[in-house]
Amino acid sequence: MSFGRVSGQWLCLHLGSISPLIPTELNIDRLLDNLSVDEEGALWAAGVPSAVRWLSALRDPAQVAPSSALRITKNIGGNAYFGEKLKVEKV
């Protein structure tokens, strides 16, 4: 799996060990960290929706650091054919 940061978007070049995808840009509104692939092939990522608030929380333990978990999978729905090759779920 290859991911690269391109001007505020993520460019997915390959998802899975056998079937490469056409390069796909994911518009994700947060920073991603700790990428991991589960046994079903889903990509999991820790998301940071506000870098400024997150950095403030690092300096002051009394503040809550904003975070989220994202699950990124191949889109097998009807709109997959027309452009949305990957599905991003906030869990």
- For the stretch 1-46, pLDDT in tens is 444 443 445 555 455 554 555 556 677 888 888 888 888 888 898 9
Structure tokens at 23: 């390069």
* β partners of residue 36: 44
pTM: 0.67
Neighbours of 37 (CB within 10 A): 14
Structure tokens at 12: 């997915």
41: helix, strand or coil:
coil
Nearest to 90 by CA among 68, 73, 74, 65: 68
Q: How far is it, in rounded angstroms, from Cα 59 to Cα 81?
A: 46
